[in-house]
Amino acid sequence: MIKAALSVLLVLVTVSSTFGKYVPKTGRRIPQTLSRGWGDQLIWAQTYEEALYWARSRNKPLMVIFHLEDCPHSQALRKVFSDDNELQKTLDEDFVILNLVYETTDKHLSPDGQYVPRIIFVDPTMTVRADITGRYANRMYAYEPSDLKLLISNMQKAKKLLKSEL
Amino acid sequence: MIKAALSVLLVLVTVSSTFGKYVPKTGRRIPQTLSRGWGDQLIWAQTYEEALYWARSRNKPLMVIFHLEDCPHSQALRKVFSDDNELQKTLDEDFVILNLVYETTDKHLSPDGQYVPRIIFVDPTMTVRADITGRYANRMYAYEPSDLKLLISNMQKAKKLLKSEL
């Protein structure tokens, strides 16, 4: 009940704080989120540089998701990905995460080409874990919704960090 | 009245769609937005690569804002920036926009050093407009809240595109 009251309060605050502000000709838009639906409760890095910095400084593996908003395969994976609480919790606690709809200039992030959806792990030593792959020989870093268990097991692999050569 | 009803409906949909989903130990978080408070109704690029691509393909100038969430100067500028409807409308219609809390690897975006807040214009020919500066000799791309008129006039300069040498 208190939660419901708080929600209503939050809405009132949101509505009043946007009063009188710029509204596009085409009507009010829903603000874009960094999560893009892959986990609204998670804290996402915005750029690859930022994500690498977080991975190094927190000594956590990085998961990079390449996807497209209007790609049905991306959408299907996103649905099961965002609905899986175990996966979301592990990501929240043990990973640095980044989702991108635009390729970076770093070719290490496309070991076998640029396609979506594609999930690449990067070790905090800045090494792309090209060894952590999905089920498909022609698109080694692609996952389908039915591959969620494999993805979770790959996350466990990524959590076993490489030894730094320092 | 219809708008109010729609708002309530939107809230109900939002609340119900998050029911049963992962909630962090520290409690529910407000999803991060790409705008970070610089204009919730505007469409922001996520990365510099993406922004450059949009600028070229739409033949529009790019504004890059470097800021930090916990920097009081950034916060003060953000307040007047997001409250100014003329500025927001011009950005929405005539610019590609990007705000970053992390520096890129491209040193052209820090002509006189890395500081915040800092606003750099980039022409669709991919040329950083180092000639479009603010009021301060020691931090040429910094703006204070009182410099908003200058910023708007600089936006007009940026809209006069450089001639491509093609």
- Expressed as residue numbers, the domain containing A156 is 28-164
**B19 vs B4 pLDDT, higher one:** B19
Task: Output the pLDDT for position A163.
Answer: 85
Has residue A14 been placed in a domain? no
Task: Give a yes or no: residue B118 inside a domain.
Answer: yes
The reply to whether A13 falls in a domain is no
**A54 and B54 Cβ atoms separated by less than 8 Å:** no
Q: Model confidence over A55-102: pLDDT tens digits?
A: 999 999 999 999 999 999 999 999 999 999 999 999 999 999 999 999
Contact B92 A24 (CB under 8 A): yes
Asked if the structure places residue A158 within a domain, the reply is yes
B65, burial (CB in 10 Å: exposed 0-12, middle 13-18, buried 19+): buried
- DSSP string of chain A? -HHHHHHHHHHHHHHHHTTTS---TT---PPPBSSTTS-TTS-B-SSHHHHHHHHHHHT--EEEEE--TT-HHHHHHHHHHHH-HHHHHHHHHH-EEEEESS--S-GGG-TT---SSEEEEE-TTS-B-TT---S-TTSTT---GGGHHHHHHHHHHHHSPPPP--
CATH number at A115 reads 3.40.30.10
In a domain, B5, yes or no: no
Q: Quick check: is B105 in a domain?
A: yes
User: pLDDT at position B5, please?
Assistant: 62
Q: How many domains does chain A have?
A: 1
Split at pLDDT 50, 70, 90, the class of B7 is low
| Chain-chain contact of B39 with A32 (C-beta, under 8 angstroms) | no
Chain B residues interacting with chain A (CB cutoff of 8 angstroms): 7-8, 11, 15, 18, 21-24, 28-29, 31-35, 39-41, 43-44, 46-50, 53, 82-83, 85, 88-89, 92, 100-105
ipTM for the whole complex: 0.83
- Confidence bin at A10 (pLDDT 50/70/90): low
Which residues in A lie closer than 8 A to residue B47 (C-beta atoms)?
46-48, 100, 102, 104
Q: pLDDT, tens digit, for every residue of B43-97?
A: 999 999 999 999 999 999 999 999 999 999 999 999 999 999 999 999 999 999 9
Q: Is residue B139 part of a domain?
A: yes
Average pLDDT for A39-52: 96
Q: Does the predicted model carry a pTM greater than 0.90?
A: no
SS (H, E, C) A78-104: HHHHHHCHHHHHHHHHHCEEEEECCCC
The per-residue pLDDT for range B119-144, each reduced to its tens digit, is 999 999 999 999 999 999 999 999 99
Residues in chain A closer than 8 A to B100 (CB atoms) = 46-47
Q: Do A31 and B41 touch (CB under 8 A)?
A: yes
For A38-47, give one letter per residue: b (16+ CB within 10 A) or e: bbbbbbbbbb
The answer to whether position B76 is within a domain reads yes
